[in-house]
Amino acid sequence: KKRNPGEHEFHQAVQEIFESLTPVFEKYPAYIQYNILERMVEPERVISFRVPWTDDNGRVQVNRGFRVQFSSAIGPYKGGLRFHPSVNASIIKFLGFEQIFKNSLTGQPIGGGKGGSDFDPKGKSDNEVMRFTQSFMTELYRHIGPDVDVPAGDIGVGAREIGYMFGQYKRLRNSYEAGVLTGKGIAYGGSLARKEATGFGTVYFVDEMLRDKGKTFKGRTVVVSGSGNVSIYAMQKATELGATVVACSDSNGYIYDENGIDIETVKQLKEVDRKRISEYVNFYPNATYTEGCAGIWSIPCKIALPCATQNEISAEAAQLLVDNGVKAVGEGANMPSTLEAIDIFLKNDVLFAPAKAANAGGVAVSALEMAQNSARVPWTFEEVDAKLHDIMKNIYKQSKEAAAEFGFEDNLVVGANIAGFVKVADAMISQGVV
């Protein structure tokens, strides 16, 4: 904390890992001898840069860009770019740090990184978004590459932004390096099922966790926060598995539809028209809209899937969910539950799928996109989806086994942290003090 003052989100992410690893250090003193943890919490490289651009009124605007290249122990840095006004060094570092362990859990050869900007895409014209992303890439391009660092999307960065960034990268490099970014459009090197991967993967993971206890999604009431990329495809897969998704949200408020949210309408509103979720009630007058996104956790449900942003489930919200009978929580977003909220879930025997494990499907399919780009061969939707499903089952198995090995039966927070850590730590030891 002394070395990184004020970086609360980063401290929170590190604390969660540290608390899980104590038994690992007792069993394997080599990790202490090689000072692995202290090396791991120091990013290999932090890049912060000015992003000047001109708005539609001809005014010059300035934003701050970041790329944190955290760990290249097991592969090129890999992790998304987030465009949101709340972005700062602490947020990017917490995301980059988590990414190291998540990427390790996927079994793919990818290191950890993250980046973004405090640019707010909301309310900006297409041309403004293009000018901003081109300016952003004009600095970022010199730090990335298919074997160096491979960014992707995150909050506020979808197919449109990736497309503009890819165009600018290609122009600056004068080289068609498809594998430099993932989440690309299908026409120019993207992978089928990448768009669906994080949401589908989260539901595959939760399904695995439920089945292990003789339960399924079928007939359950589900609440999903957010209405972006992760939320939409989590809702779709949960519905396909027979659940009823009764609520979703955006940063302004939430909608409730006891008959089950119509996902095609949400897709049209959010992916195509870029409108607010409140507009849903214009199509389904029996549904209700309530201002304030935090209220969504007061809706009784058996399964909660937080898919919006960090720390969206406070201790109070967790207690409310428990009091209302929640049986399982699956984190689609990164670090959506506070440390206190996780404690409440675990103490009340709620099945809890932590973000690092549950939302790793997105980056796993990004690594499959890189593989297709290298081989110059596109795979079908079914092939990618089947690989994703296998990867999520395997992450569940690894996390469960690691927890059991150290005496933390069913604690997937500890299990995922240990399983993700060991592989990276072993690679670091093999590669010497670098």
Least distance from C-beta 153 to ligand NDP, angstroms?
5
Q: Is 229 annotated as a binding residue?
A: yes
**What is the 8-class DSSP label of residue 376?**
T
Does 54 participate in binding ligand NDP (rule CB under 6 A)?
no
Q: Is 78 annotated as a binding residue?
A: yes
The one-letter code for the residue type at 399 is S
Among the listed residues 333, 344, 357, 364, the single contact to ligand NDP using CB under 6 A = 333
Total binding residues for ligand NDP by CB under 6 A? 23
Q: Is 102 annotated as a binding residue?
A: yes
Could you give the strand order of the β-sheet that contains 60-71, starting from the edge strand earlier in sequence?
45-54, 60-71, 112-117, 77-83, 149-152
Collapsed DSSP state (helix, strand, coil) of residue 201: helix
| HEC readout, 302-332 | CEEECCCCCCCECHHHHHHHHHCCCCEEECC
Q: Where are the alpha helices (DSSP H) in 36-154?
A: 36-40, 89-105, 126-140
Number of CB atoms found within 10 A of residue 367's CB = 20
Least distance from C-beta 196 to ligand NDP, angstroms?
10
Does 332 participate in binding ligand NDP (rule CB under 6 A)?
yes
Residue nearest to ligand NDP (CB): 228
Does 250 participate in binding ligand NDP (rule CB under 6 A)?
yes
Strand partners of residue 192: none
Q: Which is closer to ligand NDP, CB of 354 or CB of 362?
A: 362
Binding characters for ligand NDP, 278-307, by CB under 6 A (x = yes): ---------------x-------------x
Closest CA to 193 of 331, 66, 68, 369: 369
On whether the CB atoms of residues 205 and 212 are closer than 8 A, the answer is: no
Q: Which is closer to ligand NDP, CB of 294 or CB of 429?
A: 294
Among the listed residues 251, 265, 268, 324, the single contact to ligand NDP using CB under 6 A = 251
CA–CA separation, 18 and 31 (whole Å):
13
CA–CA separation, 185 and 163 (whole Å):
7
Q: Is 99 annotated as a binding residue?
A: yes
Q: Is 393 a catalytic residue?
A: no
Among the listed residues 13, 36, 140, 230, the single contact to ligand NDP using CB under 6 A = 230
On whether the CB atoms of residues 252 and 291 are closer than 8 A, the answer is: yes
Exactly one of 114, 237, 302, 400 is catalytic; which is it?
A: 114
Least distance from C-beta 66 to ligand NDP, angstroms?
14
Find the helix or strand (DSSP H, E) in which 335 lies. Answer: none
**What is the 8-class DSSP label of residue 296?**
G
CA 53 to each of CA 61, 133, 167, 170, 306: distance values in angstroms, whole numbers, following the listed order: 5, 9, 17, 20, 34
Among the listed residues 228, 354, 415, 420, the single contact to ligand NDP using CB under 6 A = 228
Contacting range for ligand NDP; rule: CB under 6 A; set: 18-26, 149-157, 216-224, 398-406 = 149-157
Least distance from C-beta 313 to ligand NDP, angstroms?
11
Burial class, 40, CB count within 10 angstroms (exposed 0-12 / middle 13-18 / buried 19+): buried
Does 151 participate in binding ligand NDP (rule CB under 6 A)?
no
Does 115 participate in binding ligand NDP (rule CB under 6 A)?
no
Does 116 participate in binding ligand NDP (rule CB under 6 A)?
no
Give the residue numbers marked as catalytic: 114
Question: Binding site: which residues?
Answer: 78, 99, 102, 153, 198, 229, 366
Question: Binding site for NAD(+): which residues?
Answer: 198, 229
Which residues lie near ligand NDP (CB under 6 A)?
Answer: 153-156, 198, 226-231, 250-252, 293, 307-309, 332-334, 359, 362
